[in-house]
Structure 1
């Protein structure tokens, strides 16, 4: 199964991606995790990424596309994958479509999680406190949520028109949300 998991920051994409990866026996691929690992390791990529994320900006498409393309070509993705945090804009949708065509691996579904703005802000503030994430400042959070609303949320219409969208309420108990996602995917 090849899935995208989409939704605003703080909606629980990473948590649900990990649970779905375990359930379906496929890797969860988070562009954010790849970026944070490189930042922590002080790699060349990490230094490029931190210049954007500390200002609440998204990493440029060219850099993100190349990382995703490389990751999707690795051996552990043969039976499927879950992409978390990508695509974020229309240009990335086009790049992903081209990658998947080149790899001969069509996308199966797009899981879209949603929650109210206040819920998202509270979750992100808690995550920043628990994980010490430097990219979760109030200003950076507000900027990322605004960017999501402007650039990423409209992509859901693209996937809806393709018949690939599975919309799920991201508020509630983690296990109940996962159950709703699995039931919706298995019913397709």
Structure 2
């Protein structure tokens, strides 16, 4: 009896490793797609914002979720839409980005507070968190690395200072990588270091 119990824990550890590896591979692929198709990504994120806004309105009309939870979510969607103005150029130190990070935390706080006080089936709680709280912020998180591969243009926000050369600013910014893809590249280099070829 103890052997199969031990085997079940080993199998669970293997399954967790495989799910984690599959998730990482999927996120890497999505990050590559986002970098390749930034215009389409902006349209998808805009559609997701509209969809979650419609969901919040539906929650106000058809469910008895408190107004403070849904109105904070709608305000969060308004803040997230500010990030689309200069998409794919997302500066992690900009007020819009910092406020959107704060809104993610506040939305989660109100959601946890509500679902801790009122019982709902797990599927409904997971549906609310997935659609209303995670879908849009996660799409922005995956697209953080998209501005690293965009060619410099006059539309790109100018840096503060006296250097007005667009190409110089572009290559200075290229050294700073913030996105999900850069994290995966770093982990790949640490876990699977490339072999140097000797000739």
Name the TM-score, length of structure 1 as normaliser.
Answer: 0.31
| Greater Rg over alpha carbons, structure | 2
Instruction: Compare the two structures and name the one with the higher helix fraction.
Output: 2
Name the TM-score, length of structure 2 as normaliser.
Answer: 0.30
